[in-house]
Amino acid sequence: MIQPADIPIPPDLSRRYGGSSSGRGWLASLPGLVRHCLDQWQLELDLAPGALPRNGHGAIVIPVRHGASARTGTEFGNGTLGTARQAAVLKIAYPHDEALVEPQALALWDGHGAVRLLAGDAGAGALLLERLDAARSLHNAPLDEAVPVWGALVRQLGLVPDGRPEWRDFDHVAARAEQWSDELPESWERLGRPFPRWLLEAALEVCQTRGAVGRRSGRDVLVHTDLHYLNILAGLPGEEPESGGGEAAAGWAAIDPQPMIGEAEFAVAPLLWNRIRELSRADPERGLRERCRDFSMAAGLDAEVARQWSLAREVENALWYASTPGHDGDLARSLWVASTLAGRTLPELPAPHGLPAPGVPASRDFRH
């Protein structure tokens, strides 16, 4: 049987975290953290010899099995881990802000619209989660099928804040907008003005307007801020996730929430910067705006507010990409989406079908 020390580290995690002392320390700690969680929750590894665990941007995800005698030993979960050796996954995250508040959001959702949290260990950065089918995501579904699923999940996930203590840990979308009002102009100047000033000003107008409105709108809900197609998975056959969101969301659940409180329209942006090569070749700009409208309508959201938040989020993304070597292709994609949503697609950018795939360097620099 494979042992914790023998679990291979996915290569992209090694590349991402091997360049700093803190990252190397975390990578080196993983076998011990895995062993600790296996013992604490009485788990069995369910990884075939030679198989790689799955991973996200900042976490390793290892298939395991648990039984009825295991106890959570945590404030999260319901205290027991179910019956007979059930399939689950052990997720261990590199310490970062989004990972710190993920268990609180999953506890509030309690398996309705999102992956079910079975146990958590904040000290280890570990979560024990129900196992979903990582090979079947909404990324593989036709867009006309993805729209109603996404909309139903957003409705289901949009909980209204109440008196439970988990709510105290989330940042507010409006506060993030106020932060961007200060940070975006400074970053734009420091990075050598990588795109036209008018696009920066369009994002700042959104931050100032929506930030103020968001503070007083009374429309606050729990927002999954990274609800793109790959973060919506199907359940295992015969073990589909529970859904109170109606037939459209049946069998699907969200993962990796990066939760915040605020206007639900903040959630639309990741749908627009993914799968853009599927936009109409004849008029991709119109296609992008229609995609924003269609997903917004499916979730009962205001499409104009979604457009505004998506513009601001993509400008913020563009500045991050401009500051990070090797992301010229991502920068070009963000600038195309942001400027198109602003109504003035930058002319020096290629059509979306000519943009490199996410993470692939561009053949030239698209800075203004």
What SS3 string covers the chain? CCCHHHCCCCHHHHHHHCCCHHHHHHHHHHHHHHHHHHHHHCCEECCCCCCCCEECCCEEEEEEEECCCCECCCCCCCCECCCCCEEEEEEEECCCHHHHHHHHHHHHHCCCCECCEEEEEHHHCEEEEECEEEEEEHHHCCHHHHHHHHHHHHHHHCCCCCCCHHHHHCCEHHHHHHHHHHHHHHHHHHCCCCCCHHHHHHHHHHHHHHHHHHHHCCCCEEEECCCCHHHEEEEECCECCCCCCCHHHCCEEECCCCEEEECHHHHCHHHHCCCHHHCCCCCHHHHHHHHHHHHHHHCCCCHHHHHHHHHHHHHHHHHHHHCCCCCHHHHHHHHHHHHHHCCCCCCCCCCHHHCCCCCCCCCCCCCC
226 catalytically annotated = yes
Among the listed residues 46, 121, 220, 226, the single catalytic one is: 226
- Annotated catalytic residues are 226
